[in-house]
Amino acid sequence: MKSGLSWRSLSLVPCALKAYYDYELENKKHLLLTSIQDTQRGLLTTTNQCSCIEEALVSLEGCNIGCHPINLSNLDGTWRLQYTSSSDVLILLQAVATFPFFQVGQIFQKFECCHQSNGGVIRYVVRWSIPNLLEITIQDINISEEL
């Protein structure tokens, strides 16, 4: 019995599936990044936005179901925090919104899990400052030419 498929066309199937998978993965990453925009790292997130973000996360995580277990050494390192729902970080962001003299810069998550198979440590690294504490502003100074 002869079919319309040849061994050559069958060999293209894995390549096409891989390309489709990569395309879908990038689309899901883009959707997640788009959904966290304008939330000020999670501080100004509405209930509807939280639902959209959670759906985007679950969809992205679904790309890895059954494929490969998480390799912790790939996570090891310092990652810039784009969004969080963690109350211990959100309270810092709320303090910035409440107290204008307190500034929080970049927030990072440092994963320490290299050479471990079942866990590790995650630390938050927060760049913060109180800028006006040591600043001196000088204005309206008349300098005499007679010295």
Whether 24 maps to a domain, the answer reads yes
- Sheet containing strand 77-80, edge to edge, reads 77-80, 103-112, 121-129
Domain annotation covers residue 32:
yes
Tell me if 79 is assigned to some domain. Answer: yes
pLDDT at 4: 57
Instruction: Using the 3D structure, point to which of 17, 35, 65 is the last residue of a domain.
Output: 65
Contact 124, 109 (CB under 8 A): yes
- Mean residue pLDDT of the chain comes to 80
Name the pLDDT band for 81 (thresholds 50, 70, 90): very high
54 lies in the same domain as 34: yes
Residue 22 belongs to what domain range?
Answer: 9-65
Same domain membership, residue 78 and residue 116: yes
Is the pLDDT at 83 greater than 60? The verdict is yes
Global pTM reads 0.68
Cα end-to-end distance, the chain, whole Å:
108
Assess if residue 4 is contained within a domain. no
Quote the number of domains for the chain.
2
- Best CA proximity match to 83, nearest among 60, 49, 127: 49
